[in-house]
Copies of this chain bind each other. A is one copy, B any other.
Amino acid sequence: MRAAVLHGTRDLRLEERPEPVPRPGQVVVQVTSVGMCGSDTHYYEHGRIGPHVVAAPLILGHEASGTITAVGPGVSPDRIGQRVSVEPGVPDLTCPQCLAGRYNLCPGMVFFATPPVDGALAERVAVHGAFAHPVPDQLSDDAAALLEPLSVGIWACRKGHVTAGTRVLITGAGPIGLVAVQAALAFGATDVIVSDINPSRLALATELGATQVLDARESSLADLDHAPGVLLECSGNARATLDGLAVLDRAGRAVLVGMGVDELALPVPLLQERELEVTGTFRYAGTWPTAIALVSSGRVDLDRLVTGSFALADSAAALTAGRDDPQAVKVVVHPQT
């Protein structure tokens, strides 16, 4: 089968790879759609993300959907033909974090497209059967792939305790910020304020239901009429994070989702006087059933985020499409084309 393999910085090659053989409990998924993520692009352009170095050829892609074509020992053959969305990380299941329901914090996690684990930019992949989630017909292939970034938004809302009537501030309107907007609305937020510096993304945020958008170059969060109770930080920008914290209501919660800030100059007196809670997210746990329900019920529109699609042979172009075009939001690769 064919796969797009990263050999080094900006060196992505279409190669033949052996067909995946499912181990016990696994299924083979014929991949129909793979969303490109900023981390994929970062590996492509820099060959590493922090401590994670691409030391050997690596298949990228961790937002994937497809159809089950084979099953390993212990998996019902009835699953062959099932359309699935792939949850890209499989934990060891028995460590204390896993047993406590926090499997995203499992030290033994094996995660797609994180060196040396291959990802999904291939015609077929083998995955744990319990992490290949069946999706209903009304979900498109692309939407099924994008349940992964939606999961990030859902997890942020859970960490932020977003509920009916919550005022949510979202800093950053990139792909994660935009799924966070939709997730926050689905969790019942009645005010969803979004700040960014890209007007086309702010316009899309409004289209997706944001109740107020702010161009951070022109407006200040300090001018908000009402203090938000939750900050979902999706920009990875220190200034935006601090500005967001500064306007949070008493007992507010800040969830740092965006990556890129190594050290944040946390204002401790503010944290204390308002008893703010600050946390960060690391992937997600138990989000797929919710994500499927939200998209199936029409509460979240993932197809609207897709601004480009590419064949497997054009994966390199897909990886950089988002970088150069301010209109771009989410690019997908269709490995069967």
Q: Could you list which residues of chain A lie within 8 angstroms of chain B, going by C-beta atoms?
A: 50, 93-105, 107, 128, 130, 154, 157-159, 163-165, 183, 186-188, 190-191, 211, 250-251, 256, 259, 261-269, 271-282, 285-286, 289-290, 293-294, 296-297, 299
Task: Report whether B286 and A272 are in contact in the complex, using a CB–CB cutoff of 8 Å.
Answer: no
How far, in whole Å, are A98 and B265 apart by their CA atoms in the complex?
Answer: 30
Task: Report whether A251 and B105 are in contact in the complex, using a CB–CB cutoff of 8 Å.
Answer: yes
Question: Which listed residue (B191, B259, B268) contacts A264, Cβ 8 A?
Answer: B268
The listed residue with most B CB atoms (<10 A of its CB), out of A281, A282, A289, is A282
Task: Report whether B290 and A164 are in contact in the complex, using a CB–CB cutoff of 8 Å.
Answer: yes
Given contacts A188-B186, A294-B190, contact A262 B267 (CB under 8 A): yes
Given contacts A164-B154, A188-B188, A282-B273, contact A99 B101 (CB under 8 A): yes
Given contacts A190-B296, A290-B164, contact A268 B274 (CB under 8 A): no
Task: Report whether A97 and B278 are in contact in the complex, using a CB–CB cutoff of 8 Å.
Answer: no
Listed A/B pairs (22) with beta-carbon separation below 8 Å: A93-B94, A93-B98, A99-B285, A100-B101, A101-B101, A154-B164, A164-B183, A164-B188, A165-B293, A187-B188, A188-B188, A188-B294, A190-B294, A190-B296, A211-B297, A256-B271, A259-B272, A261-B268, A263-B265, A263-B266, A271-B279, A277-B277
**Which residues of B are found within 8 Å of A104, using beta-carbon distances?**
275
Identity of the chain B residue whose Cβ is nearest the Cβ of A95 in the assembled complex:
B130
How far, in whole Å, are A164 and B265 apart by their CA atoms in the complex?
Answer: 33
**Which residues of B are found within 8 Å of A299, using beta-carbon distances?**
164, 188, 190
**Which residues of B are found within 8 Å of A100, using beta-carbon distances?**
101, 251, 286
How far, in whole Å, are A62 and B89 apart by their CA atoms in the complex?
Answer: 34
A234 → chain B closest CB, angstroms: 12
Task: Report whether A282 and B275 are in contact in the complex, using a CB–CB cutoff of 8 Å.
Answer: yes
Task: Report whether A280 and B263 are in contact in the complex, using a CB–CB cutoff of 8 Å.
Answer: no
Task: Report whether A164 and B186 are in contact in the complex, using a CB–CB cutoff of 8 Å.
Answer: yes
How far, in whole Å, are A128 and B186 apart by their CA atoms in the complex?
Answer: 35
Identity of the chain B residue whose Cβ is nearest the Cβ of A51 in the assembled complex:
B269
The listed residue with most B CB atoms (<10 A of its CB), out of A104, A190, A261, is A190
